[in-house]
């Protein structure tokens, strides 16, 4: 099964400890509200109507775009995280839905969305083209797919393997993948050049990237994010992530 971070979750008894690990990760990432605002700013003007968000976690990003859309179907495997979302939102606005993204998606059989948001999800699938084709079945004609993926293939290392990533993406490769599957790029840009610089020194660590920072350092990073985000506009700088908005032809 896939957990909220998109990683494989083993069967019991290891499953309980894995869920504890990822719950801890969500708690740490809650210290970065400016980061999630930054992510949403990259696509929130391109989504409307009914949005299907896959791997929503604790809902850190959806809170920054939900006001611009009619409703959100928030999908994750971790029921505790979904229960938290249910407590925060009117069910008419945000509907939490437990689904295993490695399964048959029978829970989504009736869902046709105007936009799908999949942040840090695609890289967890060995057959990424097959995953994109699966997404298309739940997207209306002319709908939009929002992706955030780890950038710069040459940075791939132990952190990626520990995080369950099959790959990192270069912009040309991601564009070619999406065009082959019938999507037209609307936005495709790098995000977080400063993070990419820091990643070079930590990519040999066998943990998720967030786990390489103490909570105190995460709070400092959060305070710096408004300044760090300005680097996204500097020509020639490549980021730690790519954000893309793709329209289904």
Q: Which CATH number does the domain housing residue 92 bear? A: 3.40.50.150
Helix or strand or coil: residue 126?
Answer: coil
User: Does a structural domain hold residue 240?
Assistant: yes
Question: Which pLDDT score, from 0 to 100, does residue 138 have?
Answer: 97
Question: Which pLDDT score, from 0 to 100, does residue 8 have?
Answer: 42
Edge to edge, the sheet with strand 71-76 lists 94-98, 71-76, 50-54, 113-119, 139-150, 241-248, 183-191
Alpha-carbon dihedral of residues 118, 123, 128, 134, nearest 10 degrees?
A: -30
Identify the domain containing residue 206 by its residue range: 14-248
Residue 136: which pLDDT band, with cuts at 50, 70 and 90? very high
User: Does a structural domain hold residue 182?
Assistant: yes
Q: How many distinct structural domains can be found in the chain?
A: 1
Average pLDDT over residues 189-212: 77
Residue 213: which pLDDT band, with cuts at 50, 70 and 90? confident
Tell me the angle at which helices 215-228 and 14-29 cross, rounded to the nearest 10 degrees. 50
User: Does a structural domain hold residue 5?
Assistant: no
CA gyration radius, the chain: 17
User: Does a structural domain hold residue 144?
Assistant: yes
User: Does a structural domain hold residue 77?
Assistant: yes
User: Does a structural domain hold residue 69?
Assistant: yes
With b for 16 or more beta-carbon neighbours within 10 A and e for fewer, the 135-147 pattern comes to: beebbeeebbbbb
Average pLDDT over residues 67-74: 98
User: Does a structural domain hold residue 201?
Assistant: yes
């Amino acid at each position: 099964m896939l957990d909220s971070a998109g990683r494989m979750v083993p069967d019991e008894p290891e499953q309980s400890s894995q869920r504890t690990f990822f719950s801890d990760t969500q708690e740490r990432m809650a210290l970065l509200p400016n980061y999630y605002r930054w992510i949403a700013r990259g696509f929130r003007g391109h989504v409307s109507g009914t949005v299907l968000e896959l791997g929503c976690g604790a809902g850190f990003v959806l809170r920054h775009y939900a006001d611009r859309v009619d409703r959100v179907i928030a999908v994750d495997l971790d029921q505790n995280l979904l229960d938290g979302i249910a407590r925060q939102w009117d069910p008419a606005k945000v509907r939490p839905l437990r689904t295993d993204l490695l399964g048959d998606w029978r829970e989504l059989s009736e869902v046709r969305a105007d936009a799908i948001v999949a942040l840090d999800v695609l890289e967890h699938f060995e057959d990424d083209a097959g995953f994109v084709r699966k997404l298309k079945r739940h997207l209306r004609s002319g709908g939009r797919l929002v992706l955030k993926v780890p950038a710069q293939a040459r940075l791939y290392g132990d952190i990626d393997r520990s995080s369950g990533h099959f790959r990192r993406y270069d912009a040309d490769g991601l564009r070619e993948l999406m065009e082959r599957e019938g999507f037209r790029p609307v936005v495709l840009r790098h995000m977080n050049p400063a993070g990419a610089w820091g990643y070079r020194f930590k990519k040999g660590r066998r943990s998720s990237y967030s786990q390489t920072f103490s909570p105190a350092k995460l709070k400092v990073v959060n305070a710096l994010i408004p300044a760090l985000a300005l680097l996204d506009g500097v020509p020639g700088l490549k980021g730690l992530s790519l954000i893309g908005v793709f329209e289904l032809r």
